[in-house]
A = this chain, B = another copy of it.
Amino acid sequence: MTGRLSILGLGPGSAAQRTPEVEAALAEATDLIGYLPYVERVSPRPGLRRHASDNRVELDRARHALELAQAGARVAVVSGGDPGVFAMASAVFEAVEHGDPAWRALDIQVLPGISAMFAAAARVGAPLGHDFCALSLSDNLKPWPLIEQRLAAAAGAGSVIALYNPISRARPWQLGAALDLLRQHLPGETPVIFATAVTRPDERIVIADLAEAQATSADMRTLVMIGTAATRVVARGEGAAPWVYAPRSVGS
């Protein structure tokens, strides 16, 4: 049997946003590997071994997947959203680079998914419709001053900002500090969107002005988007949430 490793994105949650090629890779897999909540999104079936692991053990998980593929398994490594965005694809290639040289000859494919930020953006309009940055707020793998520098650079350049990993039990103050920093660079009326558990039953969207945005509007499943001075909010009235979009034309 020839092994294969597919690194795939399950999208934000709903199966209606999962691509056919991802479904096909899941259907032919012998081994499913990932962070527990993502593994649980895939239905069990005979012939599919499930290897769920805890958060923050990405490299161990990647090596395990590579070993199984080397032994002939058809392995599916699952991430939420897109696997190339703050997810498992980087961990797998890092393991390949520093691991058994034979791993470089393995059949590895990356299958993209609908990313959390685009699913979140779609729910409120088109807030990422112009130049934007995606930034992880986790200081587990990079120093906090670098995060501050990147936030200031993005805001100063007029870029919309999508924040991944905004808050967790182990990182309770970072989002509040980031919002405080952004208030020094952007007008108080700048729209901030907190999109939690998008497409899942407990989906929740909060739209606030930067001046009044609170870190408590976010949890581990939240994608935070910070607009620019150009971002538009279109009221719809009658209890409907407004549309938020980034104009296509700026500074001219």
Please list the residues of chain A having a beta carbon within 8 angstroms of any beta carbon in chain B: 11, 14-21, 24, 58, 82-87, 89-94, 96-97, 104-105, 108-115, 118-119, 121-123, 125-136, 141-143, 146, 149-150, 153-154, 156-159, 232, 234-238, 240, 243, 245-252
Contact in complex: A90, B250 (CB < 8 Å): no
* Chain B residues positioned under 8 Å from A150 (CB to CB): 131, 157-159
Contact of A136 among B127, B131, B153 (CB under 8 A): B131
Nearest CB in chain B: distance from A144 CB, A: 10
Using CB atoms, name the residue of chain B closest to A126.
B89
- A141-B248, A149-B157 in contact; A85/B129 too (CB < 8 A)? yes
Q: Measured between alpha carbons, how far is A232 from B89 in the docked complex, in Å?
A: 13
* Chain B residues positioned under 8 Å from A156 (CB to CB): 153
Contact of A132 among B105, B123, B125, B133 (CB under 8 A): B133
* Chain B residues positioned under 8 Å from A58 (CB to CB): 248
Contact in complex: A97, B232 (CB < 8 Å): yes
Q: How many copies of this chain are found per oligomer?
A: 2
Contact in complex: A245, B94 (CB < 8 Å): yes
Using CB atoms, name the residue of chain B closest to A150.
B157
- A84-B128, A133-B154, A237-B104 in contact; A146/B250 too (CB < 8 A)? yes
Please name 16 pairs of A and B residues whose Cβ atoms are closer than 8 Å in the assembled complex, sorted by A: A14-B21, A16-B20, A16-B24, A84-B128, A85-B118, A90-B247, A93-B129, A94-B232, A105-B240, A110-B123, A114-B114, A128-B134, A131-B134, A132-B134, A133-B154, A133-B159
Contact of A114 among B19, B92, B133, B251 (CB under 8 A): B19
Q: Measured between alpha carbons, how far is A212 from B96 in the docked complex, in Å?
A: 27
* Chain B residues positioned under 8 Å from A115 (CB to CB): 115, 118
Using CB atoms, name the residue of chain B closest to A135.
B131
With A93-B234, A105-B236, A153-B159 given, name 14 new contacts (CB 8 A): A14-B21, A19-B19, A83-B126, A84-B118, A84-B122, A89-B126, A89-B129, A94-B247, A96-B234, A111-B122, A113-B114, A133-B159, A153-B153, A154-B157
* Chain B residues positioned under 8 Å from A119 (CB to CB): 112
Nearest CB in chain B: distance from A192 CB, A: 17
Nearest CB in chain B: distance from A251 CB, A: 5
Q: Measured between alpha carbons, how far is A91 from B92 in the docked complex, in Å?
A: 38
